[in-house]
Structure 1
Amino acid sequence: MYRQKYSSLLENPEILDYGAYLQCDTLLQCQKPLDKLCNSDELQFQIVHQVEELWMKLMIFTLIDVLEYMQTEQSHRVISLMKRVHMLQKMMSEQMDLLETMSPKEYQQIRLQLGNGSGQESPGFRILVKIPADLWTVFNKHYIQDRNTTIEAIYDSQYQHDDSYVIAESLVEFDELLQKFRWQHLFLIQRTIGMESHSLKGRPVDLLKSGARNQFFPELWQIRNQMTDAWGQSYGKVRDSIVPKQATGTQAG
């Protein structure tokens, strides 16, 4: 009774100005008809992935602005927009947790609806992973080369916590959050279909680990190793303990 009552309202909503502006009549038809769902979790599966595509669309659009503002060294704009990108990345990871409410059995039923589809075919993700190369090119030119500086100077020998450093760290955070998103996706796969199974294209799911290990800004990660090794040369790799040495033996009574 309740399913029929509210399903009809969902599929034929009253569209007023707010709904017209958001094109809710189109938006709410982007999922399978409720009576065609293979199980009650399929609607969630579709919506989560559709929303992820929308967040990635906004992220890509924002990163295009970031590239343009970096070219004119409008650093405050860059930093503000990168904060937005980071928030979007965190939301994407958080909402993926919804999919862990599915049982492996129910996911297998949904998986049959995907044909040979895979998350690796996500149009938003395929564009998103191309952008870091341009981000690095523009950052390297305008914040390193044109300023006659180096990553080492920005982070260590001439460290000032200036705009070059803050933007570099915003790129590191973007990279880190993207890696976390990919690893979270792997954990979701492990929980639903297992890591030793094969994808819908017949490839071992375990191959996805290689992508999750990828770093888009290796220079910004490597500087940390270089700094630590350089510091280690001055204070030694193995230092004396900060715990006072205890006297050995016992005092005579």
Structure 2
Amino acid sequence: MDRAKIYAEMQAPGALDYELYLRTGSLLACQKDFGDLVNRDELQFQIVHQVEELWMKLIAYSLIEADDHLQTGETHRVITLLERCHRLLRLMTAQLDILETMSPKDYQQIRLQLGNGSGQESPGFRILLKIVPELWRSFDARYVRGAGRTIRSIYDQDYAHDAAYAIAEALIELDELFGKFRSNHIFLIHRSIGMGSASLKGRSVDLLQAGAKHRFFPELWDVRVAMTDDWGVHYGKVRDSISHNEAA
């Protein structure tokens, strides 16, 4: 195998229409040259994180559009866009598993290349933290208080599995998947550097646990608690075991 020739072809700028449209020359030049890699796992480390930034860019772009449609009450457009974001978050979460093929020893070498950088500085991650809460404001203004309703009525007293309910469930799905992404990232840290170590910022990576517990839409989670507690008051929190009835 002529490794040098293959490497050169892999990094060639390209002149075909497909290459020009996708800017593959620029895209494939975003990683270190093969000869500059600190070890053979550094390329996957760069690519996975760069791809994650691209997916987060698409999620952010889609959420901004979804917010526009929330404000105008275009429910079907909102649901479609949120479903796209759901799939992207699942994809992002699964992609993190690729990095678990990297040994802790190899990652220590890569970590030296990061300076004081960490995933908390991700531009895509930071912009999503700003955008997602805006969806709630638009949803509330159009489908909840703006429509003379409450989250409890949508889920309970006036439950009709209608547009407001469908969007609420799409929003809680977004919240859940974002949390799963953050939780999977914590497991990746467990695998690579351990949870008791200090981060490159000098803080314990245990602090990431608090971020994984964050919920964008607490009202959607709390309504389930309220409904279950009221159900318990009505039907009893402890009931006879059905096994007793079977025995009789």
TM-score (norm 1): 0.95
Aligned counterpart, 1:73: 73
Aligned counterpart, 1:209: 209
- In structure 2, give the amino acid aligned to 1:78: V
8 Å contact from structure 2 (residues 45, 99) kept in 1: yes
Aligned counterpart, 2:115: 115
Aligned counterpart, 1:59: 59
**Unaligned segments of structure 2, at least 5 residues:** none
- In structure 1, give the amino acid aligned to 2:149: T
Alignment of 1:105 onto 2:105: yes
Determine helix, strand or coil for the equivalent of 2:144.
Answer: helix
Alignment of 1:229 onto 2:229: yes
Q: CA deviation at 1:14?
A: 3.5
Aligned counterpart, 1:251: none
**Unaligned segments of structure 1, at least 5 residues:** 248-253
Identity of aligned residues (%): 59
Measure, in 2, the Cα distance between the counterparts of 1:46 and 1:17: 26
Aligned length: 247
Q: CA deviation at 1:131?
A: 1.3
Aligned counterpart, 2:238: 238
Q: CA deviation at 1:13?
A: 4.9
8 Å contact from structure 1 (residues 107, 192) kept in 2: yes
Aligned counterpart, 2:134: 134
Q: Deviations over 1:58-103 (max 9, x none)?
A: 0000000000000000000000110001001001001111000000
Instruction: Find the structure with the greater CA-based Rg.
Output: 1
Q: CA RMSD in A?
A: 1.1
Aligned counterpart, 1:185: 185
- In structure 1, give the amino acid aligned to 2:224: R
TM-score (norm 2): 0.97
Which stretch shows the higher mean deviation, 18-27 or 2-11?
Answer: 2-11
Q: CA deviation at 1:6?
A: 1.3
Aligned counterpart, 2:90: 90
Determine helix, strand or coil for the equivalent of 2:161.
Answer: coil
Q: Deviations over 1:40-68 (max 9, x none)?
A: 11000000000000000000000000000
Greater per-residue helix proportion: 2
8 Å contact from structure 2 (residues 100, 191) kept in 1: yes
